[in-house]
Structure 1
Amino acid sequence: MLPTYNTDVLLLRACIESVLAQTYPRWQLCIGDDASTDSRVRECLQEFRAQDERIQVVFREENGHITAASNSALALAKGEYIALLDHDDTLAPHALQRVAEAIAENPQAQLFYSDEDKIDEQGERFDPHFKPGWNPDLLLSQNYICHLTVLKAALVKQVGGFRLGVEGSQDHDLLLRCMPHLKAGNVVHIPEVLYHWRAISGSTAQQGCAKNYAATAGVRAVADYLESEGLQATAEPGTAPNSYRVRWVIPQHAPLVSLLVPTRDGIDILKPCVEAILSRTDYPNFELLILDNQTRCEATLRFLEEVSASDARVSVHRWDRPFNYSAINNFGAGLAKGEIIGLVNNDIEPINGDWLTEMVGQALRPEIGCVGAKLYYPNDTIQHGGVILGIGGVAGHSHKYLSRNEYGYFSRLHLVQNLSAVTAACLLLRKSVFEEVGGLDEENLVVAFNDVDLCLKVREAGYRNLWTPYAELYHHESVSRGADNTMAKRKRAQREAEHMRSRWGAQLDTDPAYNPNLTLVHEDFSLA
C-alpha cells in the first residue's frame, strides 16, 4: 500500500523499483495518488502500471491528505495481508520473502513487523533500529513498530482502515485501533532490517521534531485509544520527540502502599533514605515498614526508635536471623497492610515528588505485574533503566552509566515500556500478585537475582512487567551490603547465577524486550 503526493520522481522510482526487485513474486502494489499537481508523478505511475499488472493505481480527483490517499490505496487491495510503504522509502530485496516465510510459520498472526534503518539522499544506509518484540506499553509511548508493518487485511478492514483527523500519525493510530485484537501470540517480530526509511530534509526520519502536526496527531491517537477502551488515563506529549506519556488515574480513595525497607546499621544511608521518602513523596496513603536485620549500631537504633515514634506511617520490625534478602522481604510482605507492596532498598532517595503516584498508577492496572523505576547513581548517571535478560549470563541493567538526560537507544530511557524484569531496589506490585507467585525465592536466591526471578515468575503468571522513566530516584548501589569481594561471596554469587540458568534456561538468552542483534556483553544496546 503506497500513498503518493508530488513525490520526488527519482525517489518514487527507487521506491517502486524496490518492490519490483522483490525475490517473492506474489505481491500487489496498490498506489493511491492524492491528486498530485506535478504531472511527472502521474506519468511515472502510469509508466509503472503499464509495465507490470501487479501495480495498480488510483488517481484521486481532489487532495485529501495521506489518510484519504491511504484508504484509496487500501480499496484496491485484494491480498490477505497489507504492507505499509511510504512513497520515498525502499524495501530490502528479500523483505516480502521474509514476511511470507513468517506468515507460513505463524498463520495465526495478525501483525508482522521488521527492523529498519535509514537511507540518506546519497543512498547511504545508517542508524539501524533493532526493535523489541511485542511491547504494548512501548507502543503507547512511541510508534516503535514503524516500518515494515504488515497487518492482516481482515483486521485492517475490521477497524475501519485509516482514520481521518490523525494525519501524520495515521499508521500509529491504525496500530492502536488494532491493539485490542493483538497479543504476544499473534504478533511476529522479524529481527532483520527489511525496510530503508528515507532521511531527507523535513522528514521525521531525519528530525523527530520536523512535523509538529504529527506529534499533535499522535497525542490524539493515544488519547482516543484510551477513551475507546474505557481506560482511566490521559495522554500528553512525552519528554522525547514524537513520544507520548500516559498518566493513569489513581482512585479517589488512594490504595494503601506498603514500602518495605530492609536494613542493618548504616544510619548514614538509612536516614537520608527514610527522610527523603517521608518528605519527597506526594502520594497520600503509604506505610513504611523498616525491616531491621540485626542492627547493633546505637545511633541507628536511636534513629529507628525516633522516626517510628514521630511519624505514624513508619514502623520497625525485627528480623533476627542471618541476612537473606528474599526472606526479609517475604517477612515484610506478610506484615504489609497495603494492597500494593513496594520493595525499596535502604540506599534509595526519591527525586520527584510524584514518583510513587506514577508507579502506583501503573501497578494498579490489572494486566501489569512488577513496576520498576529510573534510578541514578549520585553522579547523575544511569544505574537502572530496566533489566535486560542474558547480559553477563543472567541479566544486566539497561543503559548503565549513561548521563541522566540522554535519550538512550531510540529514546527508550524516556519511554514507559514493558520489560522482562526490573530491579527490586525500587519495585512495586500488587500484594495479590506477589502472593500468587510465592514471593521471593528464600532458598536459592539469598542475595542476587531474586528480583529477576520474581519478575520472571510474574511474567510466567501472565502479567506484563513495566519500567517507567517518570519515577526518578537516586540509588547508592550496594553501599549497605558491600561488594562480592570475598571467596564465600563469590561462591554464593556463582551458585545463584547457576540456579538462574537452571531455572530459566533459554529464556535468559531470548529477551522479548530486547533484540537478538544487540549485545549480551555490554549494557549499552550496541551491536552483538
Structure 2
Amino acid sequence: ACHLSAFARDTLLECGGFREGFDGAQDFDLILRVTDALEDRQIGHIPSILYHWRVHPGSCAGQVGAKKGVEEASRRALADHLSRCGRGDEICGAGMNNFFRLGRPLPEKAPQASVVLLARPGVTVSPVLRQTLEELAALWPCEILWQPVDISIDEPSLAPFADWKALPPATNWAGGCNAAVRAASGELVLFLDAALVPLPGCRPEQLLIQAMRDDVAVVGGVIYRDGGLWNAGLVPGASGLPFAFMRGLQVDLMRHVAWGQLMLTRSCIAAPMECMAFRRDLYLDRNGFNVNFGTLSGADFCLGAARRRLKTLASPWAQWGLPGEHAEDALAVRTQIAIQEGSGTQCGTLRAAETRESYIAYQQILQRFKDRWGDDIRRSPVRNRQLGAAFDNGWRLPL
C-alpha cells in the first residue's frame, strides 16, 4: 500500500486511526486494521497516476528502508493483523527491506495432491527438482505423474524414476494436461514443466495451500530465464490480449523497477502453464483446457474461472529457472521466418510455406481469443490503463 489513500471517516474512528509505536509503517498498520473487516468488493483501486513522490535525503522514495525501524514496525503491524484474524502464518523476510512473505501453515489433514511433470522430448530432470519433490512428499501426501508431451503417441513412455507413474504420451501440451488430470487421483493438481529448476526458497506446498481456498481457481509461480524474468503471471493488455508481466526484466534491475511486487502474492488474469496449482474438480467442471487455444489455453481456463468470481494468483513461493529453448521461442522464430520469407507473392521454400501456415494459424488463434475474452481483458481490474503494452511494443511495459 502507498501513502495516498481515502477512507470513510467513521471507519478510521472505529479502528482508532494512526497508532503510536509504528513510525515509518503507520499507513501500513492502519490499512491492515481497516481491511481486517472488509470484503474484496469494498476495496477499490484507481488505476491512474494521481501524484508523484518527491525524493529527498532519508526518503523511502530514494531507498527502501532508509528510515530506521521501518522493517521492525512493519513486521509488528503484520503480526498484529495475523493475530486479529486468527491466522498462524509464518512471517518470512523476502530478501528486500520492508517486504515479507506469509508462509501459510499446513492443513491438519492435507488432501491428496497429484504433481504432473510435463516433459518435452529430451528433457532431463534436475537433481534439485527431484529433491524439491521429495521434500514436498514429506510434507504433503502426493503422487508424481510423468506426462510426455509434444511427441508421437506411438512413442514409449518411461518415467525417469521408478516411484513416478508414466502416462501415455500426448501430441500437445494442453492435451497432455487434460489427460493427466483425468488420470490423477489427487484432489489437488500441480502442473510443472519437467525442465524447471527450483530456485532457493521454492516451497510448492504453499501453492497447494492457496489452491484450497474457495475463492481461488489457480495459483501460479514465477519463472526466470537467461538472467531475466520470463513469466510471473499474465496481465491484460490494451488490445484485448494478455502478456507476461515485465518479461525480460533483468534480475539485477528488479530492486529498482519491480519494487517488491514479485515478492508478494498478486492477482493476475492467468498463471504460467509451466507452474500452476488448482482443484481437480474445478478443472474437470470446466472441461479442462481448450486445446484450440494452444499456448493460450491456460489463459482461457483462468478467464473462464474469473467469470465465476474466482481468482488467479501468482505466488512468490514458487520461484523457478527454465533452461534451454522454450516452445514460445520456437513459435517466435517460425513467425519471424514466415514474415521475412513469405512476404512476397510466392513462398520460395517449403519451409517458408510451412511457417506461413503456422503464422496464419497462430493469428487465427489470437483472433478467436480476442473475440471471446477481449472485453473481459480490457475491463479487468488488474489492468492499468496507464501502461500501454501492446503487440507493436513487444508486449513491454513503458517504464
TM-score by length of 2: 0.82
Q: Give the counterpart letter for 2:158 in structure 1.
A: E
Per-residue CA shift, 1:239-291, capped at 9, x if unaligned? 22322211111125444321223445x22x2x325x54322332123322122
CA distance in 2, matches of 1:276, 1:255: 25
- Secondary structure at the residue paired with 2:218? strand
CA-CA distance at 1:480 after TM superposition: 6.0
**For the structure 1 residues 177 and 436, does the alpha-carbon distance in structure 2 shift closer, same or farther, using more than 3 Å as the test?**
farther
Whether the 8 Å contact between 1:280 and 1:352 is mirrored in structure 2 is no
CA distance in 2, matches of 1:199, 1:294: 52
Equivalent in the alignment of 1:78: none
CA distance in 2, matches of 1:165, 1:334: 54
Whether the 8 Å contact between 1:369 and 1:463 is mirrored in structure 2 is yes
Whether the 8 Å contact between 1:280 and 1:351 is mirrored in structure 2 is no
1:526 aligns with 2:378: no
Equivalent in the alignment of 2:14: 158
**Which structure carries more relative contact order (alpha carbon 8 Å, separation 6+)?**
2
Q: Give the counterpart letter for 2:132 in structure 1.
A: R
Q: Give the counterpart letter for 1:307 in structure 2.
A: P
Equivalent in the alignment of 1:329: 177
Q: 1:170 aligns with which of 17, 26, 44?
A: 26
Equivalent in the alignment of 1:472: 319
Equivalenced residues, count: 368
Equivalent in the alignment of 1:373: 221
- Matching of residues 267-286 of structure 1 within 5 Å: 267=122, 269=123, 271-272=124-125, 276-281=128-133, 282-284=135-137, 285-286=141-142
> What is the Cα-based RMSD across aligned positions, in Å?
2.8
- Identity of aligned pairs, percent? 24
CA-CA distance at 1:457 after TM superposition: 1.8
Q: Kindly indicate which of the two structures has a greater share of residues assigned to strand.
A: 1
Per-residue CA shift, 1:177-235, capped at 9, x if unaligned? 22144444333333333334342222222221112312211111122212211223122
**For the structure 1 residues 293 and 147, does the alpha-carbon distance in structure 2 shift closer, same or farther, using more than 3 Å as the test?**
closer
**For the structure 1 residues 188 and 354, does the alpha-carbon distance in structure 2 shift closer, same or farther, using more than 3 Å as the test?**
closer
CA-CA distance at 1:417 after TM superposition: 1.6
Q: 1:498 aligns with which of 345, 360, 367?
A: 367
Per-residue CA shift, 1:281-316, capped at 9, x if unaligned? 321233221223585699x84xx53635x22xx111
- Matching of residues 3-82 of structure 1 within 5 Å: none
1:260 aligns with 2:107: no
**For the structure 1 residues 392 and 272, does the alpha-carbon distance in structure 2 shift closer, same or farther, using more than 3 Å as the test?**
farther
**For the structure 1 residues 216 and 525, does the alpha-carbon distance in structure 2 shift closer, same or farther, using more than 3 Å as the test?**
farther
CA distance in 2, matches of 1:242, 1:190: 24
**For the structure 1 residues 190 and 160, does the alpha-carbon distance in structure 2 shift closer, same or farther, using more than 3 Å as the test?**
same
CA-CA distance at 1:394 after TM superposition: 1.2
In the alignment, structure 1 segments of 5+ residues that lack a partner are: 1-142
Q: 1:356 aligns with which of 193, 201, 204?
A: 204
Per-residue CA shift, 1:403-455, capped at 9, x if unaligned? 2342343332333222222211111112233234332123x32x221111111
Whether the 8 Å contact between 2:201 and 2:317 is mirrored in structure 1 is no
Q: Give the counterpart letter for 1:159 in structure 2.
A: C
In the alignment, structure 2 segments of 5+ residues that lack a partner are: 335-354
TM-score by length of 1: 0.63
Equivalent in the alignment of 1:79: none
Whether the 8 Å contact between 1:341 and 1:431 is mirrored in structure 2 is yes
Equivalent in the alignment of 2:167: 317
CA-CA distance at 1:456 after TM superposition: 1.2
CA-CA distance at 1:152 after TM superposition: 0.9
**For the structure 1 residues 164 and 364, does the alpha-carbon distance in structure 2 shift closer, same or farther, using more than 3 Å as the test?**
farther
**For the structure 1 residues 380 and 280, does the alpha-carbon distance in structure 2 shift closer, same or farther, using more than 3 Å as the test?**
farther
- Secondary structure at the residue paired with 1:318? coil
CA distance in 2, matches of 1:398, 1:477: 21
CA distance in 2, matches of 1:413, 1:306: 33
Q: 1:418 aligns with which of 257, 267, 278?
A: 267
Whether the 8 Å contact between 2:240 and 2:374 is mirrored in structure 1 is no
